[in-house]
Amino acid sequence: MILVNYLVGVVVFALGVAVILTRRNLVKIVMGLSLIESSGYLLLLSAAYRRGSTAPVLLKPPGGQSEQDLARGNVADPVLQNVCLTAIVIGVAVTAVLLVTVVRIAQHYRTLDADRVRDLRG
Amino acid sequence: MRRAVVGWVFAVATAGVLGVAVVDLPREGAALPHIARQAMTVALPDWRTTEPVSEVVYGTRTFDTFGETFLLLAAVVSVLLLARHRERRHDYFGEEEAGQEEQRYQNPGDEPVGPTERTARAADTREDDDAAANAGEASAGRPETPDAEPVGTAAPEAAQGMTVVVRVAIRWVLPVLAVAGGYLVVQGYSPGGGFPAGVVLVGVVLLVYAGFGYRRIARLVRPGPLEVLELIGALLVIVVLALGLALKGSFGANWLPLAPEQTFRSGGTMQAFSVAELIEVGTGLTIVIFSFLAIRHDWTPANPDAADSTQPGGDGEDSR
């Protein structure tokens, strides 16, 4: 029932979109972006899963299986797991930059309200 | 509320479209895609590693990881640029003076502040005994290290360290965590690699900071050495990958002799790349986190009356 994972990922993504569109607090908007990122991780890891699969380690296949079984597909997809690692690192980097921008906006405009951050203020 | 309606309609529509799209994704019964099978079959003979995920990270998708590393570096540089205004650059902490200077520039005349604000500023001054220690002043009757504080005192809010329970726990956990971080990167055949190991080591630094205060790691966590270390890590990445181009004719190709699998050196340049990645990620994230911790000036309201009002400081108090 990996479809449930996919659908939960979609719901989390939509929640993130909703947070970004409906909130005015900049920190909450960044949190919405983090929600969207998390949905991406869930989607990637779910897509990597195979029924009855083991971790993609070539050490010793579980009982009754040969290494050929592993290569033939009784293992989680290592490429997608790698893509998930990449996504996590990029998510951390993007969140850090966004948060520091929010801190500076707050110090400059003295508000976290996105609607009040319109006028140019040198 | 137009914003809420539009936002939720859009979000639900997105969910609908994605939900329809997602139904056709490969399920748990699907065969492994070709590229995954290729990674599985290539890991052992070509790289002498039993860890296909690491092989994909540092072998098959080398160029992608290379780009990712420098994306992280770019993020660190942006955070540094944004987080520092015009402070003197000798420390992450102790930037308060620069902030006060800016504050004085913004509201000249130095109007009298309210009682709430006075309390807050006094607490800030008490907390900032790192700056006092740097200036060579006595630090207001506080012991040199949190360990020297007598057990059972009512810890003030400004206390540098946590309680003795937390400190002892941290002492026990730290070596385990540090060894685990090192293990992740040293054992090429274990799941892990430079990225997770770097993050684990950042966790070690943060635990020391949380438990024992900044002074315990102040010698280690300074912009000077850390930034140099990070750039050394980035340079190592470039050197390791470019040597593949020079010696083997393709960027990121393995140019080290392959050791037997499940040893320290199995994986060839994968391991070297992983170690460089550890340096880069560990120092980069430390720099980012401590830059965040150092942003603390300039939060006082511009309007001194706002500090006197009963409302806690928050959005929209400013009259401008």
**Tens digit of pLDDT for each residue in B86-140?**
555 556 665 555 666 666 666 665 566 677 777 777 777 766 655 555 555 444 5
Q: Residue A87 class from Cβ within 10 Å (0-12 exposed, 13-18 middle, 19+ buried)? A: middle
Residue A59 is assigned to a structural domain of this protein: no
Instruction: Among A14, A17, A100, select the one facing B82 at the smallest CB separation.
Output: A100
Give mean pLDDT, residues B54-59.
86
Residue A33 is part of which domain span?
1-51+76-119
Asked whether the predicted pLDDT for residue B304 surpasses 80, the reply is no
pLDDT at residue number B144: 63
Given an 8 Å threshold on Cβ–Cβ distance, is A78 in contact with B53? yes
Q: Over range B3-13, report the average pLDDT.
A: 93
Mutant choice from B2, B8, B53, B70 vs A, greatest count of A C-beta within 10 A: B53
Would you state the pLDDT for residue B243?
Answer: 93
More confident residue, B159 or B239: B239
Give chain A positions within 8 Å (CB) of B18. Answer: 10, 13-14
- Please answer yes or no on whether A58 and B52 come within 8 Å at the CB atom: yes
Query: Please, what is the average pLDDT of chain B?
Result: 78
Residue B158, pLDDT > 50, answer no
Q: Report if residue A58 sits inside a domain.
A: no
- B18–A112: do the CB atoms touch at under 8 Å? no
**B169-186 exposure pattern, b = at least 16 Cβ within 10 A, e = fewer:** ebeeebeeebebbeebbb
Residue B23, chain A, CB below 8 Å: the answer is: yes
Residue A62 included in any domain: no
Q: What are phi and psi of B317, to 5 degrees?
A: -80, -25
DSSP state of A65: -
End-to-end CA distance of chain A: 55
CATH code of the domain containing A33: 1.10.287.3510
Q: How many residues does chain B have?
A: 320
In a domain, A10, yes or no: yes
Least CB–CB distance from B302: residue in A49, A81, A110: A110
Contacts 24+ apart (CB under 8 A), B216-222: B216/B145, B218/B91, B218/B93, B218/B130, B221/B92, B221/B286, B221/B290, B222/B90, B222/B91, B222/B92
pLDDT at B95 (0 to 100) = 57
Among the listed ranges A104-113, B23-32, B42-51, B120-129, which one has the minimum average pLDDT value?
B120-129
Which of B36, B50, B82 has the CB atom closest to A59's CB atom?
B50
Instruction: Examine residue A17 and state whether it is found in any structural domain, yes or no.
Output: yes
Of A21, A50, A58, Cβ closest to residue B28: A50
Q: Dump pLDDT digits (tens) for B161-182.
A: 677 888 899 999 999 999 999 8
* B50/B180 Cα distance (integer angstroms): 19
Say what the pLDDT of residue B297 is: 56
Complex confidence, ipTM: 0.83
A12 is a domain residue? yes
Q: Choosing among B290, B315, B318, which should be mutated to test the A contact, i.e. which has the most A CBs within 10 A? A: B315
- Partner residue opposite A89 with nearest CB, options B195, B291, B298: B195
CB distance A56–B40 less than 8 Å? yes
The percent of residues in chain B predicted with pLDDT above 70, rounded, is 70
Which residue in chain B has the smallest CA separation from A25?
B315
Whole-number Å distance between alpha carbons of B167 and B211: 6
Residues B222-259: pLDDT tens digits? 888 899 999 999 999 999 999 999 998 888 888 888 88
Q: Which residues of chain A have pLDDT under 50?
A: none
How many CB atoms within 10 Å of residue B150? 6
Q: Please report whether residue A93 resides in a domain.
A: yes
Distance CA A29, CA A21 (A): 8
- Cβ atoms of residues B252 and B243 within 8 Å: no
Residue B213, pLDDT > 90, answer no
Tell me the chain A residues in contact with residue B10 when contact means C-beta distances shorter than 8 Å. 17-18, 21
Q: Which residues 41-60 on chain B approach chain A with CB closer than 8 angstroms?
A: 41, 43-44, 50-53, 55-57, 60
d(CA B163, CA B165): 5
Q: Do B218 and B160 meet the contact criterion of CB atoms below 8 Å apart?
A: no
Closest CA to B198 of B294, B79, B309, B285: B285
Could you tell me which residue, B315 or B220, shows the higher pLDDT? B220
Query: Is A97 within 8 Å of B79 when comparing Cβ atoms?
Result: yes
**pLDDT at B317 exceeding the cut of 50:** no
Q: Is residue A66 part of a domain?
A: no
pLDDT of res. B90: 59
Cβ pair B312, B251 in contact under 8 A: no
Q: Domains in chain A: how many in total?
A: 1
pLDDT in tens, B245-300: 999 888 888 888 888 877 877 888 888 899 999 999 999 999 998 888 877 655 44
